[in-house]
Structure 1
Amino acid sequence: MAINNRGQAALADSLYFLMIVSGLATFLFFFASSYGIGVTERVGLEYRSDYAVSALKTLLYSSTPRISGETLETATEVDFLLAAMKEDFADNGQFDDVNRLVVNNVVGLMEPIADSFNYMYYIYLPGENKFAFLMLYVSQWTWTEVRGSQVDVSPGESVVFLCNPKALNKLDELVTNIGRIYQSNSRMQLVKIKETGGRGYDVFPAQVNLTMWVSTALPETDSGNILDSSHLNCNPKCFLRLRNGRWEEC
């Protein structure tokens, strides 16, 4: 009888020990899995944030021909893109001649991630409460109906819009509905030659921003398309990127 009791006690101890070991093993498995997922997400976040920072720095100091129509290989004179932008702005307080040049440089710089990410690049004048420049790179999505709901299934061609929102808070309608964003900010000063004919110039502090996000369909608003004049105020004339890599006007 004593032997049977000892056997039952040993069996019970073994079961308890097995339960404890199984519980610890399960805990360690889930901890390791969640830790790995967390590390992966953090590394991805850091990589995308670093890419945005590096892209903005590269953009401001990228080289461009001084004469429109020339290439970097054949240009007689080369300067920073930032210098060309400041020179263009100094004439009349807005960007005219460099818009296409800036679009080409931004698109070329973001090409390695363009298949997976959309982005916008803008220069904002806080003292004037207006945008000096804003370009929006978005993918056109194909929609399909699944069980009565519209679902975005695949991106098509990519489009670049030049926009001019009436205020900075107009961007909130976009950035609050596109998921996680990765952005970089910088500051610079733009100058405009005084129109009085005398010497001197007006100084405009400016904020430069590059924001990117995982490609998704643009959100709709209660009052209509987010690209229209009451929201982002985008120019109907845009640039379309075809799947073969060519660009043409919309």
Structure 2
Amino acid sequence: MERMNYKGQAAITDALFFLLIVMSLVSFLFFFSSQYGRTVGEYSNSKFGSDYAVSALKTILYSSFARDGLPLTVDGKFGDDCTPDSCSEEVDYLIAAVKEDYADDENINFFREELTDSIKKVMMPVRNSFDYLVYIKVNLSPYSYPYFFMSRKEFTSTASGAFITDVTAVQKDYYCNYNDLTAFNQNKINHFIVFVGAKGQAVSSLYLPVIGDTEFREGEIQLILWSPNDFNSENPLFVDLDCVLREDVLELEAAAAP
């Protein structure tokens, strides 16, 4: 009888150990599958962001631009809605006009809004998924940033007691390095990018002419995407970029115009 009791206890102990092993394996598989799914999701999102950034930057660089400011012809032809007086045949790459703009005073101001509008059109398909910035850097000592545009979402929430009942996202556009501060540098940009976590990045070399200079200035244009990040405009890393709302910049420039 005692031997049977011992066998029963041993069987129960073996069953408990087996159950413990099974539970451990199930927990491990659940943890592994959840982490694997998250890793695959992050990789897919990052891959999509990188591919889109490269394609978007190419589109921005080679987008068509009417020299006289008129709408472009349709497939190079005039029609009922597009006459020689209302449409333009004088077409060039927008980046060529930007280079000419820089050559005048080493700044981008005359064609700045055309460049910004082109960027916003190219980024429109992913505006709900990504925030982004585009900047042009010239390899001087110190570096010069004649163009720096950022578009990001800012979130506001409505609370009822201890519960948040509504969250609203507002897209806001900024021109950064607006005051052309001497303390502005690449490290501040890099710190901000690390903070938001870039999901896509593309860069292309630029050679910018300057009137009176026989050599081109070497530079680059960068496009960086990241998932919308809920930080306010008082965040030190954002403040360091010296960003001013685009609408405020336009109002200031309109008020200062003769």
TM-score normalised by L of structure 1: 0.75
Q: Quote the residue 1:168 is aligned against.
A: 185
CA contact (8 A) 1:119 1:137 kept: yes
Residue 137 of structure 1 corresponds to which residue in structure 2?
151
Contact 1:171 1:232 in 2 (8 A): no
8 Å Cα contact 1:123-1:133 kept in structure 2: yes
Contact 1:160-1:238 at 8 Å conserved across structures: no
Q: CA deviation at 1:169?
A: 4.2
Q: Which residue of 2 aligns with 1:26?
A: 27
Map residues 61-210 of structure 1 onto 2, 5 A cutoff: 61-71=62-72, 73=74, 74-128=87-141, 129-142=143-156, 153-161=167-175, 163-164=177-178, 165-166=180-181, 167-169=184-186, 171-172=188-189, 175=192, 178-182=195-199, 183-194=201-212, 201-210=214-223
Quick check: 1:174–1:219 contact (8 Å CA) kept in 2?
A: no
Which residue identity is paired with 2:59? Answer: T
Q: Separation in 1 of the partners of 2:205 and 2:54? A: 13
- Tell me, what secondary structure is at the counterpart of 2:207? strand
Deviations 1:78-120 (A, max 9, x none): 2222222223323343323311110111000111121343222
Deviation at 1:161, TM superposition (A): 3.2
Which whole-Å deviations, capped at 9, do the CAs of 1:181-231 have from their partners, x for residues lacking one? 23222221101221xxxxx63421112111222333444157xx93xxx85
CA–CA distance in structure 2, aligned partners of residues 178 and 118 of structure 1: 13
Deviation, structure 1 residue 123 = 0.7
The 8 Å contact of residues 175 and 243 in structure 2, kept in 1 or not, is answered as no
Which residue of the other structure, out of 225, 237, 240, is the alignment partner of 2:249?
A: 237
Per the alignment, do residues 177 and 60 of structure 1 end up closer, same or farther by CA in structure 2, a change over 3 Å counting? same
Secondary structure at 1:68's aligned position in 2? coil
Alpha-carbon distance change, 103 to 192 in structure 1, aligned in 2, over 3 angstroms: same
Moved more, 139-148 or 70-79: 139-148
Call closer, same or farther: CA 1:111–1:94 in 2, change over 3 Å. Answer: same
User: Contact 1:120–1:211 at 8 Å: present in 2 too?
Assistant: yes
Percent same amino acid among aligned pairs? 30
Between 1:21-30 and 1:5-14, the stretch displaced more is: 5-14
Distance 2:107 2:243 in 1: 17
Alignment root-mean-square deviation, CA: 3.3
3-state SS in 1 of match to 2:132:
strand
Give the structure with the larger helix fraction: 2
Aligned residue type for 1:118: D
